[in-house]
């Protein structure tokens, strides 16, 4: 019995770390929200400078990231907000768990009722002008219940996409998601492969897909023309979460990089990487 145990230990010891059964398939998600504070995030609200978290719009309470308006004086008055990642990303999966709560801020636009979004392929926060309303980006639109509408839709502030070999120039395109009512938590995800393709998922089901994310169209006011080139493909960008006048909560925001070591001989090889970066490979 003792010889058998020793032999088994030797076999485990000699197997390279990257070759352990299932290790290369194990998804290593990175939490972008730490459940404690806004570390790693930058607020930008229309009419205020980058970094000014006006009226404590973005806050963390009870381990939940909240977009709130209880400290606003007067009407909402077009103070659209976005909470930006400090880094830019290109090939990745972004996944959030969100829900809408409470009442819309007085003066919020009708279309913003239970409306938020995950902005991907966005311009960096520091390139936004003080009075700019939305970042040039691709929006995974998040909508709440109480109305007959889908979630995980596509909106395109300052951008266009291609669907079925056709350039899509309308501002918003509905997804095929189920109608989700009430204050339930919903899992929304985007699988982003640079400018090549994006897929939207709601509660694990694909609901929308498109290709060739690019600058174009309208629906953004007050931006710096120097950061916009009509027709330019968007290979990477910031990620931001929207505050559009209705309170919304996020209890999870996490990212799975899809760029990395694609050499099966390396200890940090992952089967799900779609873009190789052999410079990141490590060998034991």
- pLDDT at 156 exceeding the cut of 90: yes
Q: Does residue 107 lie within any of the structural domains?
A: yes
Q: Does residue 25 lie within any of the structural domains?
A: no
pLDDT tens for 55-104 read 999 999 999 999 999 999 999 999 999 999 999 999 999 999 999 999 99
**Distances from the Cα of 248 to the Cα of 15, 128, 147, 245, angstroms:** 47, 23, 16, 9
Q: What's the mean pLDDT when you consider all of the chain?
A: 92
**Full residue range of the structural domain in which residue 269 is found:** 33-276
- Assign 264 a pLDDT band (cuts: 50, 70, 90): very high
Residue 142 to residue 160: CA distance in whole angstroms = 19
Q: Does residue 264 lie within any of the structural domains?
A: yes
Which runs of E-coded beta strand occur in the chain?
Answer: 30-31, 41-45, 58-61, 64-67, 81-85, 91-100, 115-122, 138-143, 153-155, 159-163, 166-168, 172-173, 186-193, 197-202, 205-215, 238-243, 248-257, 259-260, 275-276
* Mean pLDDT, residues 224-228 taken together: 94
**Distances from the Cα of 259 to the Cα of 86, 92, 133, 194, angstroms:** 18, 7, 32, 10
Residue 51 to residue 85: CA distance in whole angstroms = 12
Q: Does residue 81 lie within any of the structural domains?
A: yes
Return the structure tokens found at 59. 């806050």
The reported pLDDT for the residue numbered 233 is 98
Q: Please give the radius of gyration of the chain, using alpha carbons only, rounded to the nearest integer.
A: 21
Domain count, the chain: 1
CATH number of the domain enclosing 49: 2.60.120.560
Q: Does residue 226 lie within any of the structural domains?
A: yes
- Assign 10 a pLDDT band (cuts: 50, 70, 90): very low
Q: Does residue 5 lie within any of the structural domains?
A: no
Residue 248 backbone phi and psi in degrees, to 5: -140, 150
Residue 35 to residue 39: CA distance in whole angstroms = 10
pLDDT tens for 50-62 read 999 999 999 999 9
Q: Does residue 4 lie within any of the structural domains?
A: no
pTM, two decimal places = 0.90
């Amino acid at each position: 019995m003792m010889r058998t145990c020793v032999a088994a230990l030797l076999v485990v010891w000699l197997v390279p770390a990257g070759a352990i059964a299932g290790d290369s398939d194990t998804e290593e998600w990175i939490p972008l929200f730490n459940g404690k504070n806004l570390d790693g995030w930058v607020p930008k609200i229309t009419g205020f400078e980058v970094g000014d978290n006006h009226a404590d719009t973005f806050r963390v309470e009870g381990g939940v990231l909240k977009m709130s308006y209880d400290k606003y004086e007067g009407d909402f008055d077009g103070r659209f907000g976005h909470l930006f990642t400090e880094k830019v990303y290109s090939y990745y999966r972004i996944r959030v768990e969100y829900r809408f709560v409470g009442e819309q801020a007085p003066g919020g636009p009708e279309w913003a009722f239970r409306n938020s979004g995950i902005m991907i392929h966005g311009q960096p926060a520091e390139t936004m002008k003080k009075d700019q309303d939305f970042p040039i980006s691709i929006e995974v639109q998040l909508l709440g219940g109480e109305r007959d509408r889908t979630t995980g839709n596509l909106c395109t502030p300052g951008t266009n996409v291609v669907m079925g070999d056709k350039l899509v120039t309308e501002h918003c395109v509905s997804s095929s998601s189920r109608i989700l009512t009430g204050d339930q938590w919903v899992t929304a995800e985007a699988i982003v492969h640079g400018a090549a393709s994006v897929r939207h998922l709601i509660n694990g089901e694909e609901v929308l897909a498109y290709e060739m994310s690019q600058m174009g169209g309208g629906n953004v006011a007050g931006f710096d023309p120097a950061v916009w080139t009509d027709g330019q493909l968007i290979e990477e960008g910031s990620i931001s979460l929207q505050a559009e006048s209705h309170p919304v909560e996020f209890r999870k925001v996490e990212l799975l990089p899809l760029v990395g070591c694609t050499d099966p001989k390396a200890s940090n090889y992952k089967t799900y990487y779609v873009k190789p970066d052999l410079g990141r490979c490590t060998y034991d």
